[in-house]
Structure 1
Amino acid sequence: MLAHISVKNFAVVKQIGVDVAHGLTVITGETGAGKSIAIDALSLCLGDRADAASVRKGAEKAEVVVHFDISKVPLAKAWLEDNELLQEDAPHECFIRRLVSKEGRSKAFINGVAVSLNQLKSLGQYLVSIHGQNAHYQLLKPDNQRKLLDSFAGHKEQLTNVTVAYESLRKKQQLLKQLLSAQQQRNDRKNLLEYQVEELDNYSIGEDEFAQLELEHKRLSNSQTLLEQAQISFYQLYEGEDFNALSAIQTSVDNLSELQEHDPTLSPIVDMLNEAAIQVEEAAQEIRHYCDQLEIDPMKLQQVEQRYAEAMELARKHHVKPEDLYTTHMQLADEYAELLKDENSLDELTKECEKVRKEYEVSAAKLHESRKQSAQVLAKKIESHVKDMNMAHAKIFIDVDYDESASPTPHGNDNILIKVTTNPGQPADALDKVVSGGELSRIGLAIQVITSSGNQIPTMIFDEVDTGISGPTASIVGRLLRKLGEASQVVCVTHLPQVAAHGHNQVFVTKLTDGDSTETKMLKLTDNERVNEIARLLAGDKLTDTAIANAKDLLKL
C-alpha cells in the first residue's frame, strides 16, 4: 500500500509531502492547479521515462521519493528478495527514489540501491495500478479488448500453452523456410556431387594406392634394365668364371689365414673377410631371387599406365594432387550424404510443422472455449455495473470468433469485439459506433472496477476517469469507487463533487503565484474544509449558503 509520497522541484512543485491513507482518497482542486502532478511523480517512480522539462525552473534536479507498506503484498516482497533489495531491518517497507537532473539525466534507487528503469517497472506492477484520463479510449482497440478479457478470465495456463506452441511452430516454420529457399541451390550441388562421387566410386582409389601405383609404374617401365643390371651384378658377385667377388674374398681369407700364424693381429681382418663373404653370398642369393621374381609383363604395364593416367586426369578435374584423390573422394561422399540427409530433414520438418500446427490449433481451441465462457460472465458484470450508472437499457455483448483461416499468433486466433446497445430496439454494435463519450467513460470505469477488484495490486489510482459523467451518474460512480476503496487503497483525481463526497479522505491541490514563479501545494482537508471544497465544486469560486448546504448533504454518506 502507498504510504507517503514526497516531491521536490518537480514541474511546478517546489516541495510537497502527502501521507496516503487506506480507503478512497479523492484529489480535487482548481483547473490547472496540477491535480495530476502527484500521479505523474508516482509514475516516474514506477519506471516512466523522465526528461529535463520535468525539473522545476531554476532547480538543479527533481526528486521523488515514494514509501510503500508491503506487509500485505507478498509478490512485491518476493520480488525484492529475489533481487536482493529487501531491507533486513525493515522487510515490510519499500522506498523508491527517482532523481532527474536539469540536463535530463536520471537515477533510480530501491531501498537505497541503484536500479534500472526495467527494475522499477518490474516492481511497480505489484504495487500500483494507474488508470489514466483516456484509459477508456483504449477500449476501442481490439487488442486491448482481448487483453481485458484474458485478464478477467485468468486462464494463464491456456495462454501459455498457445504461446509455447506458437513459438515452437514459428521456429520450425522459419527453419523450413530457410531449407526451402536454398533447395534449388542444394539440388544443383547434389546433382554435381552425385556425378562426381559416382565417378570416384567407379575408380575407387585406395588410401595410399597412388604412391604404390607410382612405384609400380616406375618398376614395370624399367623392368628390362632392372633385370639386366641385376643379372650382371649376380654374375660379378657370385657366378663369374674368370672372376667374382665371392671367390676373391675367399682367396684373400685363405691367404691371410695362413699368415695369421706368424702375425696374430691379422685375425680380426680374417674375421671381417669371412663376414663379408657371408654377406656377399647372401646378397647374391637375394639378387638371384629378385631376378626370378621380376616380371617383364607388357600387358600389366599397360594396365598400370592406364590407371595412373586416370588418376592424373581425376586429380586435374578436381584441382587436387593425385595423392589427395582418396581424401577428396571421402569429403565429397560425406557432403553428398549430408545433402541427402537435408532432403530427409525437409520431409521430416514438414511433418513436424504439421504436427506442431495441430498442437497449436488444439491449444488455441481450448483458449477459445475459455474465452467464450469468460466473455459471457464479463459481459453480464459490465452490463450490471453500467446499468447502475444510469444506462438502464444498456446491453453488453462480447463476441469471441475463432478465425480458422488466420495465421497463428502468440495469443490465439480469436477476434474479440465488445458490442453494446444503449437503447431498446437498437442493434448491438462496436463501442465506437454506438456509445457517446460519457457512455464510453462509464463502460470503461465499470471495466476498470471489475478487473481491479480481482487483482492483487494494493493501490489503484484513477486519474479523472469520470470525464463525461455528471449528475446522478456521478454519484453512482462515487459509490462504486468508495466500495472499491473499502477493500483496498484507491486514489481518484476528480472534478465532480458527487464523486469527491464519497471519499474517505480528501486532498486539495492549489496553485500559488507571486508573479514571478508558481508553486503547487497539496493539503489534506479536515471535515469542515471538505464542506467548503465540495461547495466550491458545486457552485464555483463564490460560495453560497445553498452550495454549503448541498455539500453537507452530499457528505452524509
Structure 2
Amino acid sequence: MLTSLQIKNFAIVSELNIDWRSGMTAITGETGAGKSIAIDALSLCLGERADANAIRPESSKAEISAQFDIRNLPQAQKFLSELLLDDEEQNCILRRVVTRNGRSKSFINGSSVTAAQLKELGQMLIAIHGQHAHQLLLKPEHQLGLLDAYAGHQNLLSAVKAQYNHYHKLQREHANLLKQQQAQAAKKQLLEYQVEELDEFALQEGEFEQIEAEHNRLSHAQTLVESSQRELMSLYEQDDQTVLGQLQHSVQTFSELSTLDKSLEGISQMLSEAAVQLEEACREIRSYGESVEQDPIRLQEIEERITQAMALSRKHQIQPDQLASHHLALKQELDNICSDNARIDDLEHEIAEALHAYHISASQLSDSRANAAGTLNTLITQSMHELSMENGRFAIELSKDADRRPNELGMDNIEFLVSTNPGQPMQALAKVASGGELSRISLAIQVIIANKVTTPTLIFDEVDVGISGPTASQVGKQLRLLGHSTQVICVTHLPQVACSGHQQFFVQKAVNNAQTYTSMVPLDMHQRVDEIARLLGGDSVSDTTRASAKELLSVQSC
C-alpha cells in the first residue's frame, strides 16, 4: 500500500508531504484548488510521460517521491529482487525528477532505472481510475480489457499473444522472402548461366598461377635448353678452360700455400667447398637440360585455357587468379536463393501449424471470457439496481469470429449491452445510457473489477461525476466496503462519498506574494463535519448543515 507521498515544485504545489493510511481515504476541496494534483503527481512518479509544463513556474525541476509497503506483494518483491533493487525492510521508494528541458530521471530505492521499469512496477502497486473512465467504457478494446481483468486469465492472454507473435513473425518472414524471390528472379537466371559457364570451365584454386608458370616454361623451352647447355660447357665441359678447372687449380694453389702460412687454410677450405658446390650445380644443370621438353600440343592447350580465363575475368571484371573464388561465391549466392525458395515452402507449412495453434489458444480464451461474462453480467446488473437503476439489465455480448485476422487479443468481438427501463430491449451502451447512467454503470464495473483484481491501492479520481442523492450514498458505501480489503483513495465532490471515507483530506489554494500555493491536510472529526457541511450547503456552513453532516457521517461510516 501507499504510505507516503512527497511533491516538490509540481504544478501549483511548492512542497507537499502526505502520509497515507489503509482503508478508504476521501479527498475534497474547493473548486480549482487542485484536488487531483496529488493523483497527477503520483501518476508521474509511476512512470507516466513527463512534461516540463508541469514544473512550478520559476523552478528548475519538479520532484515526486512515493513510498510503498510491499510486505504482502510477492510479485513486486520478485520484480525488485530480479533487478537487485530489493529492500530488507520490504519498503519500496519510487522517485521521479523532471527538469525544465523536459528530461526526466527515474529511481527505485535510490537506484536509477528507466521510466518503463518504473511504470511496470507501478502497475503492480496502484490502479488509477480517472474521471473519464465512463467515456472509455464505450470503446470495444476497453470493454475487452475490463472483461479480461475480471476473468484474471493472464495465462491464456499470454498464450494467445505468444501464438500470435509466432504466427506474425512467420508471416513477416514469408512476405519478405516472397518479395526477395520476385526481385531475385532475374538475378537467379543470370547466376544460373554464370555458374554453369564457370562450372564448365572448372578452374581450380591456384590453377591459373600454375598454368601461367607452365606456359612460361614451355614457350621458352628452346632458350632454356640452349642457355643451360652453353653455361654447362663454360662451367664444366670445355677442357681445361672451364670455370671448374680454374677453381680446382686455385684450390690446389692455396692448399700448398697454407703449408707455408696457416692463415690461408680458411681460404683453401672455402675454395674447396665452392668447387664441390660448382660440381653439384653442373650435375643439376645437365639433369635440367635433359628434362626440358618442347611440347607444342601442351603449349597450345595451356594458351587456350589462359585465353579463356582472361576472357572470363574480363567478363566478370576481376583478375584471372580470382576466378576460382568468384566461382564459389556465385555458387553460394545461387544456393542461397534456391534455399530461400525451399524455405518459402517450409514456411507455408509452419504458418498453417502456427495459425492452428493460435486458434486453439484463442478458443480457450474465448471460453474463459464467456464464463467470466456470465458472472459479470449478474454482478453489474445487481450493482445497477443498488445504484438507483432498479429496472436495469446488463449483458456482455461476445461473438467469436474465426475468420478474423489474428491479433494478440484473440478472436472475440465484444459489445456491452444495457436496458434501463422495463420493456426496453438490450441495446449498445452508447445508444441507451444517459451521461449519469453511464457514470453509474462505469463506477459499478470499476468497483467490481477492482474487488477482483488484487491491486493493493485503488485511486478513484472524480469517478462519481453525474451521481447524486441516494445513488451517491450507495456509491460511497461500496467504496468504503472495498476499502476494508484494499487501500482506496477517492477524489470526490459528493458529501455522501466523502463521509464514507475512513479518513479525509482537504485541499485548499492560497495566494501569497502573487504566488499560488496548494496545501493538503488531514481532517479531524470536527473539521470533517465542517467540510461535509460545506459540501452540503454549497460553501455555506450553518448549524443545520453541520447537523446534517454529523448524521451523514454516522450513517455512511456504519
Q: Same fold (TM over 0.5)?
A: yes
Distance 1:234 1:112 in 2: 93
User: Partner of 2:37 in structure 1?
Assistant: 37
1:410 is aligned with what amino acid? Answer: E
- The answer to whether the 8 Å contact 2:10/2:41 transfers is yes
Select which of 170, 184, 187 maps to 2:185.
Answer: 187
1:337-396 deviations in Å (ceiling 9; x for gaps): 232222222222333233223222222222222222222222222222112111122222
Distance 1:80 1:489 in 2: 22
Matches within 5 A, 1:116-515: 116-214=114-212, 217=215, 245=238, 286=287, 290=291, 294=293, 302-512=300-510
- Quick check: 189-198 or 22-31, which moved more? 22-31
SS of the equivalent of 2:484 reads helix
Report the CA distance between 1:471 and its aligned residue: 1.7
1:29 is aligned with what amino acid? Answer: G
Distance 1:416 1:59 in 2: 48
Q: 1:78 to 1:340 in 2, by over 3 A?
A: closer
SS of the equivalent of 2:68 reads strand
Distance 2:499 2:278 in 1: 134
SS of the equivalent of 2:127 reads strand
- The answer to whether the 8 Å contact 1:246/1:280 transfers is no
SS of the equivalent of 2:415 reads strand
1:201 is aligned with what amino acid? Answer: D
SS of the equivalent of 1:396 reads strand
Q: 1:72 to 1:210 in 2, by over 3 A?
A: closer
- Alpha-carbon RMSD: 4.3
Distance 2:453 2:174 in 1: 42
Distance 2:281 2:51 in 1: 105
SS of the equivalent of 1:461 reads strand
User: Partner of 1:241 in structure 2?
Assistant: none
Distance 2:379 2:456 in 1: 22
SS of the equivalent of 2:124 reads coil
- Quick check: 535-544 or 22-31, which moved more? 535-544
1:190 is aligned with what amino acid? Answer: K
SS of the equivalent of 1:161 reads helix
Q: 1:19 to 1:274 in 2, by over 3 A?
A: closer
- The answer to whether the 8 Å contact 2:384/2:393 transfers is no
SS of the equivalent of 2:405 reads coil
- The answer to whether the 8 Å contact 1:246/1:281 transfers is no
User: Partner of 1:28 in structure 2?
Assistant: 28
Q: 1:272 to 1:534 in 2, by over 3 A?
A: closer
- Quick check: 360-369 or 474-483, which moved more? 360-369
Distance 1:395 1:420 in 2: 6
- Structure whose alpha-carbon radius of gyration is higher: 1
1:427 is aligned with what amino acid? Answer: P
SS of the equivalent of 1:168 reads helix
Distance 2:301 2:195 in 1: 23
Q: 1:284 to 1:48 in 2, by over 3 A?
A: closer
Q: 1:420 to 1:276 in 2, by over 3 A?
A: closer
Distance 1:103 1:326 in 2: 61
- Quick check: 120-129 or 371-380, which moved more? 120-129
Select which of 527, 538, 541 maps to 1:540.
Answer: 538
Q: 1:511 to 1:397 in 2, by over 3 A?
A: same
- The answer to whether the 8 Å contact 1:237/1:284 transfers is no
Distance 1:284 1:114 in 2: 83
Distance 1:307 1:419 in 2: 85
- The answer to whether the 8 Å contact 2:221/2:293 transfers is yes
Which blocks of at least 5 consecutive residues in structure 1 are unaligned? 239-243
Q: 1:310 to 1:449 in 2, by over 3 A?
A: same
Distance 1:70 1:280 in 2: 95
Distance 2:379 2:541 in 1: 40
Percent identity over the alignment?
45
Distance 1:98 1:274 in 2: 94
Which blocks of at least 5 consecutive residues in structure 2 are unaligned? 258-267
Equivalent residues, number? 542
- The answer to whether the 8 Å contact 1:478/1:498 transfers is yes
Report the CA distance between 1:191 and its aligned residue: 1.4
2:406 is aligned with what amino acid? Answer: P
SS of the equivalent of 1:28 reads strand
- The answer to whether the 8 Å contact 1:28/1:493 transfers is yes
1:403 is aligned with what amino acid? Answer: D
Q: 1:548 to 1:358 in 2, by over 3 A?
A: same
User: Partner of 1:72 in structure 2?
Assistant: 72
Distance 2:16 2:85 in 1: 27
- The answer to whether the 8 Å contact 1:237/1:246 transfers is no
Report the CA distance between 1:445 and its aligned residue: 0.8
Distance 2:65 2:350 in 1: 54
* TM-score of the superposed pair, with normalisation by structure 2: 0.81
- Quick check: 458-467 or 403-412, which moved more? 403-412
